[in-house]
Amino acid sequence: MSARRILLLLPAFALHFTLHAADFDLVVRGGRVVDGSGKPAIEADVAVHNGRIVAVGRVTAKGKVEVDARGLIVAPGFIDVHTHAEEVDEQPRAENFVRMGVTTLVLGNCGSSRLDLGKYFAELARTNVSVNVASLIGHGTVRGEVMAGSFRRPPTAAELARMKTLIERAMREGALGISTGLIYLPGTFATAEELIEVTKVVGVHGGIYASHLRSEGEKVFAAVDEAARIGREARLPVQLSHIKVAGRANWGKAAELLAHIQRLRDGGAVITHDQYLYTASSTSLSQLIPDAAREGGVPAFQKRLAAGEQKSAILAQMKERLTRNGYTNCAHVVITTCKSDKTLEGLSVVEAARLRRKSETLDAQLELVLEIETNGGAGAIFHGMSEEDLRVFLADPRTMFASDSGVRQFGEGVPHPRGYGNNARVLARYVRELKLLTLEESVRRMTALPAATFQLKGRGQIKEGFAADLVVFDSEKVRDNSTFEKPHAYATGFRHVFVNGVAVVRDDKHTAARSGQVLRRAPR
Ligand SMILES: [Zn+2]
């Protein structure tokens, strides 16, 4: 009979003695424990058994695995509440995430998720992945399914009912809430009234409303008001995804925006936010093109371009929008992935126009953007934010740090560096170098705060009874190595990462362990 079996059979009075005699699965010894609560670090051992933290303090019993953490920080594994990591089923190691200390991913953001979450969760449980996975249900995904191709209109009563049924199903299957992507097709054509109606279902189940706002630039204040209204009328908390003020003309408005959000809070709104620590966003190149021009898919788009008048109107709108946002060209837009022409990857739109059209005029740039879109589109990085605004958002105690990234395929394309470096960058640049946050506060924003906001119970703190998601790192050496020019580089300094008590990273290397779990919202 194993020691563990004996332990179960012993009466309670013998427990203390028995724990000392029995082995734990893991003891992380002598590290500085930053527990996620924001409290100052303490020197302590952390004992883990059966995937849970069972003791924090001085642990005399031995672990089957002993980890010497002297000189290192021991923190809860980071929770990334804003990812697009749906492909974790095909890339189960999720190495770009775990190598920067992330142990839990929230999928399904910006309105886009798997439609059948129950099925997806079952698949993940079969595949086994290296990280814990939770998901939101994407409003855009549901709307796309139900309204089949015709989006620039309100749903019919029957369609609305069907959307609610699908959202309700997702909530029952454990979705943490709903996400919207109000600059993307088909979500962009949903009115606030539609969103309130479908989101009520989520409120009833105790979920959250996470939104990629209708505007992150000139109309961001109105967009925040809309999100707050949805939260109020559908009775649920609101998460503003990747908070920013984008577009040169809007720079400097971060403090004003936070003050605006605070006034909404004072009026009863429950609002939190997340950000990534880069002044460039990453989305599709088609964001330069008006939604109405692209509505109905590529054939409809091509038809509009073929009609000369419509095409000039589209170009005029594109120019006008750039001007309003303070730009005279597209030098701030860099192509990341382009299936139809890989030679454009890594080039700015200006450079791409020079290469493909032998011209750098704005017309040549925008014509090229339209041409790329008709040939399957491209991903793009928009260098559209100011560092000062980023720091203002960072200072707010309700800002979580989240990557907005998918699982990276090492070496593929020229993606945004945030997928390899976001959490590392918080610790290296903003905590160690710039000292804008304490280590304890930065950890809280990546652990206990997201766990509480997204209701990931029993996660995000180093505390007895909590899941043993742990990261052991060197706060003097930890750094992000991924850059816009050379993105494919893992973060370093994250010595060991444990997911549910199992080492997924050991001595800076992925162990190939797949100990992640599907995290479903606990029913109300
Ligand atoms: Zn988004």
Separation of 62 CA from ligand 1 center, angstroms?
46
d(CA 495, CA 472): 6
Report residue 193 as tokens.
């009234």
Mean pLDDT, residues 1-24: 48
pLDDT at 23: 87
Separation of 102 CA from ligand 1 center, angstroms?
19
Out of 141-150, 224-233, 266-275, pick the least confident: 141-150
Domain ranges for the chain, please list them: 1-109+402-454+462-475+487-518, 283-382
Separation of 243 CA from ligand 1 center, angstroms?
9
Q: Give me the sheet containing 281-284, strands edge to edge.
A: 281-284, 378-382, 333-338
pLDDT at 483: 96
Can you give the pTM of this predicted structure? Answer: 0.93
CATH superfamily entry for domain 1-109+402-454+462-475+487-518: Urease, subunit C, domain 1 (2.30.40.10)
Mean pLDDT, residues 351-364: 97
Task: Count CB neighbours of 225 within 10 A.
Answer: 17
d(CA 379, CA 65): 44
pLDDT at 13: 42
Question: Which chain residues have CB less than 5 Å from ligand 1, an ion?
Answer: 110, 212
Report residue 341 as tokens.
């022409």
pLDDT at 10: 41
In three-state form (DSSP H/G/I as H, E/B as E, the rest C), the secondary structure along 45-84 is EEEEECCEEEEEECCCCCEEEEEECCCCEEEECEEECCEC
Separation of 198 CA from ligand 1 center, angstroms?
20
Separation of 406 CA from ligand 1 center, angstroms?
12
Separation of 201 CA from ligand 1 center, angstroms?
22
d(CA 178, CA 170): 9
Separation of 224 CA from ligand 1 center, angstroms?
14
Separation of 357 CA from ligand 1 center, angstroms?
31
pLDDT at 151: 87
- Rounded to the nearest integer, the mean pLDDT of the chain is 94
d(CA 50, CA 238): 35
Separation of 464 CA from ligand 1 center, angstroms?
35
Separation of 179 CA from ligand 1 center, angstroms?
10
Residue of 501, 523, 491 lying closest to 80 (CA atoms): 491
Backbone phi, psi, residue 444, to 5° = -55, -40
Sequence-ordered list of residues with C-beta below 8 angstroms from that of 296, at least 6 positions apart, any chain = 149, 150
